[in-house]
């Protein structure tokens, strides 16, 4: 095969099942040879599109698709100031598409280009959320019957907004047989009197740390009483509590033997992980909010985390992710790439390529693709027996039906699709 050059870079917006996805398609000067990559930044898709079309596409046109390392390195510094989710998602779409092309040129899956498989399939975890401990447990049982062995559990905090459970409402609730609307901190009237022109950004509800921690601990007790320790459970704090509360919480949940506790602190508070390490052995996953390939380095170097939880398109794609994974292997830290519903199937295929190759793979978050999504992205990774399986096709093994994708345009959203703001009972903002 000759030396194909980048001829055109396209950005495709599509929303087949209610989640905005951003896909990059690189076309070469060789007929029929192209690649696809994920550049999804659901909350800010249009700046990613501009970064690609206005800057990266002209910069890359005519370059050899073989030179992935050079393209990544030169693109990374081409704006002088670098990193951040906009620039790195844009770069990730390019990077993943180039790996897809290279695999097609070699007639090999990307995991073979990286050195071959360490495993046949990648064990995954799925999400079980509910308004009560019983509802979470019933969903867990259904997943276990389907062959899933790792399950993330989140339960509503009665009377409060709760991360990971979209059905949770503020106000009085009798979930878990408790009425805590008059609990440790009563819900104030500011939410009812809310006026977006006068007071706050669009409210996503009221969150309070103490009721949340109590309900989570209650859930873990219920699960272990009901199922014992034969199933792996995970939980996401989503950085919503103060650092010292996080230290206390990690100690309290140690006895429930979680597979991992995720995002206990914000990135700016990650020095508190040293305190956690000195006081308990709860496994820690961290990284989905990192937007630089180097952010995770001190966490791996100092062995402050057990699972690298990076969103690979947020750090620039497969090229930096495989190096971080190798560093983790040297230091005994496993991978657990971020893989929610707003990672496109192309992004999940990229995650899977790394998972099948990396010796230090730990677990993969799974998304249950909607039927429209499966049609738009032929070749989606499949879930079976609690694992994600590759189809073994060259490159990333996945494609996009552009005509069908165009039938699912972005839906107009309030505030352009920015996340609703979650607040404390006194009206102050909760991260994230």
**CB-based contacts of 9, cutoff 8 Å, min separation 6:** 24, 25, 26, 27, 52, 53, 56, 57, 60, 61, 94
pLDDT at 183: 36
Helix ranges restricted to H, 33-148: 45-50, 57-60, 68-76, 85-106, 110-113, 133-145
CA dist., res. 223 & res. 134, Å (int): 9
- Sign of the four-CA dihedral 108, 113, 118, 121: negative
* 238 counts as catalytic: yes
pLDDT at 45: 96
Q: Which residues pair with 12 in a beta bridge?
A: 23
Structure tokens that stand for 269 in this block: 């508070």
pLDDT at 163: 82
Q: How far is CA 381 from CA 92, 351, 367, 389, 426, in A?
A: 19, 10, 10, 6, 45
| 114-135 residue pLDDT tens | 999 999 999 999 999 999 999 9
* Residues 158, 160, 165: CA angle, nearest 5 degrees: 80
Report CA 312 to chain centroid distance, whole Å. 8
Which one of the listed residues 127, 150, 238, 348 is annotated catalytic?
238
pLDDT at 180: 33
Instruction: Give the number of C-alpha atoms closer than 13 A to the C-alpha of residue 391, restricted to the C-beta side.
Output: 14
Q: How far is CA 27 from CA 23, 30, 75, 127, in A?
A: 13, 8, 18, 36
| 232-266 residue pLDDT tens | 999 999 999 999 999 999 999 999 999 999 999 99
Residues of the chain with pLDDT under 50: 168-203
Which one of the listed residues 34, 76, 160, 163 is annotated catalytic?
163
Q: In the block, which residue shows the tokens 């598409």?
A: 97
Domains of the chain (ranges; CATH) run 122-394 (3.20.20.120)
* 163 counts as catalytic: yes
Whole-structure pTM value: 0.91
């Amino acid at each position: 095969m000759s030396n194909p050059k980048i001829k055109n870079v396209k950005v495709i917006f599509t929303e087949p099942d209610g989640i905005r996805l951003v896909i990059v398609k690189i076309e070469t000067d060789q007929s029929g040879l192209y690649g696809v990559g994920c550049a999804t930044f659901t909350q800010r898709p249009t700046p990613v599109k501009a970064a690609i079309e206005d800057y990266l596409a002209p910069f890359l046109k005519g370059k050899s698709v073989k030179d992935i390392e050079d393209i990544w390195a030169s693109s990374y510094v081409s704006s002088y100031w670098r990193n951040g989710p906009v620039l790195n998602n844009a770069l990730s779409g390019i990077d993943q598409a180039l790996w897809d092309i290279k695999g097609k040129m070699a007639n090999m899956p990307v995991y073979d280009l990286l050195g071959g498989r360490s495993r046949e399939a990648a064990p995954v975890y799925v999400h079980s959320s509910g308004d009560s401990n019983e509802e979470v447990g019933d969903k867990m049982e259904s997943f276990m019957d389907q062959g899933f062995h790792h399950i993330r559990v989140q339960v509503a905090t009665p009377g409060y907004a709760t991360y990971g459970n979209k059905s949770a409402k503020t106000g009085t609730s009798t979930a878990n047989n408790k009425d805590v609307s008059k609990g440790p901190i009563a819900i104030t009237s500011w939410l009812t009197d809310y006026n977006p022109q006068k007071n706050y950004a669009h409210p996503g509800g009221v969150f309070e740390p103490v009721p949340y921690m109590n309900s989570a601990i209650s859930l873990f007790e219920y699960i272990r009483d009901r199922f014992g320790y034969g199933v792996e459970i995970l939980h996401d704090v989503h950085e919503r509590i103060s650092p010292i509360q996080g230290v206390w919480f990690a100690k309290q949940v140690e006895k429930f033997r979680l597979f991992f506790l995720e995002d206990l602190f914000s990135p700016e508070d990650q020095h508190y992980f040293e305190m956690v390490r000195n006081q308990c052995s709860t496994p820690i996953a961290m990284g989905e909010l990192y937007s630089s390939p180097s952010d995770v380095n001190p966490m791996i170097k100092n062995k402050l985390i057990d699972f690298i939880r990076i969103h690979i398109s947020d750090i620039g794609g497969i090229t930096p992710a495989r190096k971080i994974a190798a560093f983790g292997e040297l230091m005994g830290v496993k991978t657990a790439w971020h893989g929610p519903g707003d990672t496109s199937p192309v992004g999940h295929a990229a995650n899977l390529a790394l998972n099948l190759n990396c010796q230090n793979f730990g677990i993969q978050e799974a998304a249950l693709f909607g039927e429209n999504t499966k049609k738009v992205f032929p070749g989606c990774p499949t879930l079976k027996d609690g694992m994600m399986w590759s189809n073994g096709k060259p490159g990333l093994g996945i494609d996009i039906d552009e005509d069908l994708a165009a039938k699912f345009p972005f839906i107009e959203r309030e505030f352009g699709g920015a996340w609703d703001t979650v607040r404390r009972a006194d009206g102050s903002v909760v991260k994230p």
